[in-house]
């Protein structure tokens, strides 16, 4: 395995880093942000910036207007985009759209791609992924899905309630023409699994960038802020926290790059992505937690971006499989011998 970046990857990394620093980070205090993300007006503006920079939807195939990135390329670009909470929205690589684009490129028919996928790739529409339901439906265990799609002539009728990450979606006799069914009937669970391994990994990539940002903010503060006659970083308790951050960023990045390499070999990478998801969500959480600690009282205010990263990062240990479910599935495999 060669983890060194080739010239094209280095150029893409530098271009994305500069784009985020110059065009996206200055917009982080834009008031058009809600608890559910940027307003549509702000999102459209951010997407227009990425489009102008040639960085919109870079993971989509070249034929569809993307950059046709490999998983290894994605690891580089997505980490840079994740450095700002607005970066993934600007590049159109946020969840769940990014994973949905990936799945539709594999499974959708040419007509479906034209109607549903292309506007999504072009940044004109949004998508959702509805799997989690209220009890007794699907949650950590997706096989408990209660929602049914019943054939009615040339259509399917979808019924039940879904809760998705930031919204509640209720389907009440939703009529879907059979031509809009994605892939083969009865294969939905398999397709969801197909989507999950790379989607888990891209979460790790984006959150890696966010954790690096939190660490950078904390390190700057620790170099400048003085207490008890010296800078904070010169106090072992603080310096060691920042050293731990650097080591865990390194481990998380290697874990991501290794899993990306496995997926680029054409492997399903389910085991590796599961491990990567647990390793990264927990290590990155510790990094952001330490960064808050180093920042003292300001760490829990919105004076810096760190408090926001801290709030958003917590959910990463829950979605796309809680840590306990990944460990449980690993333990089951170990038990089988
Ligand atoms: C920010 C965010 C975005 C999300 N986006 C989406 C989305 O786009 N689409 C969508 O469908 N869903 C989405 N979800 C939902 C997410 O996938 C679920 O929250 C997750 O699958 C867990 O399901 P649950 O909340 O029903 O928890 P439950 O199934 O009730 O589980 C609760 C807890 O029980 C424990 N647990 C469960 N099983 C085991 C086990 N075998 N061993 C040990 N402990 C266990 C875990 O600690 C788990 O956290 C999102 C969630 C969040 C927080």
Q: How far apart are CA 330 and CA 184, in angstroms?
A: 30
Q: Between 3.10.310.10, 3.40.50.620, 3.40.50.300, 1.10.540.10, what CATH number should domain 7-94 receive?
A: 1.10.540.10
Which pLDDT value is given to residue 164? 37
Neighbouring C-beta atoms of residue 264, cutoff 10 Å: 15
**How does residue 166 score in pLDDT terms, banded at 50, 70 and 90?**
low
Can you give the residue ranges of every domain in the chain?
7-94, 142-180, 188-336
User: What count of residues does the chain have?
Assistant: 337
User: What are the φ/ψ torsions at residue 156 (nearest 5 degrees)?
Assistant: -120, 140
336, pLDDT greater than 50:
yes
163, pLDDT greater than 80:
no
Which pLDDT value is given to residue 165? 45
Task: Give distance in angstroms: CA of 34 to centre of ligand 1.
Answer: 23
Q: Percent helix, strand and coil across the chain, each rounded to 5?
A: 60, 10, 30
Average pLDDT over residues 230-249: 98
In CATH terms, the superfamily for domain 188-336 is Butyryl-CoA Dehydrogenase, subunit A, domain 3 (1.20.140.10)
* Cβ–ligand 1 contact at 99 (below 6 Å): no
201, pLDDT greater than 80:
yes
Average pLDDT over residues 248-270: 96
* Cβ–ligand 1 contact at 106 (below 6 Å): no
Cα–Cα distances (Å) from 242 to 79, 233, 239, 247, 311, in that order, read 19, 8, 5, 9, 20
**Greater pLDDT, 134 or 175:** 175
Task: Give distance in angstroms: CA of 324 to centre of ligand 1.
Answer: 10
* Secondary structure class of 168 (helix, strand, coil): strand
Say if residues 61 and 18 touch (Cβ distance below 8 Å): no
188, pLDDT greater than 80:
yes
Task: Give distance in angstroms: CA of 20 to centre of ligand 1.
Answer: 31
Share of the chain above pLDDT 70, in %: 98
Q: How far apart are CA 220 and CA 304, in angstroms?
A: 12
Asked, as a colleague might, if the bond just before 118 is cis with ω within 30 of 0, I would say no
Average pLDDT over residues 256-274: 95
Average pLDDT over residues 116-140: 93
Question: What string of DSSP letters covers 95-155?
Answer: TTHHHHHHHHHHH--HHHIIIIIHHHHTTS---------STTS-SS-GGG---EEEEETTE
Q: Evaluate whether 7-94 and 188-336 have a shared fold.
A: no
Closest residue CA from atom 16 of ligand 1: 319
Say if residues 229 and 253 touch (Cβ distance below 8 Å): no
Average pLDDT over residues 312-320: 96
């Amino acid at each position: 395995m060669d983890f060194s970046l080739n010239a094209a990857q280095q150029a893409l990394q530098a271009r994305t880093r500069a784009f985020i620093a110059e065009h996206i980070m200055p917009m982080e205090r834009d008031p058009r942000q809600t608890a559910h993300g940027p307003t549509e007006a702000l999102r459209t503006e951010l997407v227009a910036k990425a489009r102008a920079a040639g960085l919109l939807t870079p993971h989509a195939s070249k034929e569809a207007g993307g950059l046709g990135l490999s998983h290894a390329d994605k690891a580089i670009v997505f980490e840079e985009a994740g450095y700002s909470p607005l970066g993934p929205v600007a590049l159109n690589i946020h969840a769940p759209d990014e994973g949905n684009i990936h799945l539709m490129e594999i499974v959708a028919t040419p007509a479906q791609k034209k109607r549903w996928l292309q506007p999504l790739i072009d940044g004109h529409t949004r998508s959702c992924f509805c799997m989690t339901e209220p009890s007794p439906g699907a949650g950590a265990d997706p096989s408990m899905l209660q929602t049914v799609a019943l054939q009615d002539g040339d259509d399917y009728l979808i019924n039940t309630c879904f809760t998705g990450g930031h919204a509640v979606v209720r389907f009440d006799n939703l009529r879907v023409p059979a031509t809009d069914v994605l892939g083969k009937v009865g294969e939905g669970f398999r397709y969801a699994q197909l989507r999950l391994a790379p989607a888990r990994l891209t979460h790790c990539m984006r959150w890696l960038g966010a954790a690096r940002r939190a660490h950078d903010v904390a390190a700057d503060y620790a170099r400048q802020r003085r207490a008890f006659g010296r800078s904070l970083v010169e106090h072992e308790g603080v310096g060691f926290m920042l050293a731990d951050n650097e080591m865990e960023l390194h481990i998380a990045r290697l874990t991501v790059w290794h899993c990306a390499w496995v997926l680029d070999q054409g492997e399903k990478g389910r085991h590796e992505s599961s491990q990567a998801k647990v390793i990264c969500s927990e290590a990155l959480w510790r990094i952001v937690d330490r960064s808050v600690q180093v920042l003292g009282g300001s760490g829990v205010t919105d004076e810096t971006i760190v408090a926001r990263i801290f709030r958003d990062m917590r959910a990463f240990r829950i979605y796309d499989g809680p840590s306990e479910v990944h460990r449980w599935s690993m333990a089951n495999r170990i038990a089988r011998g």
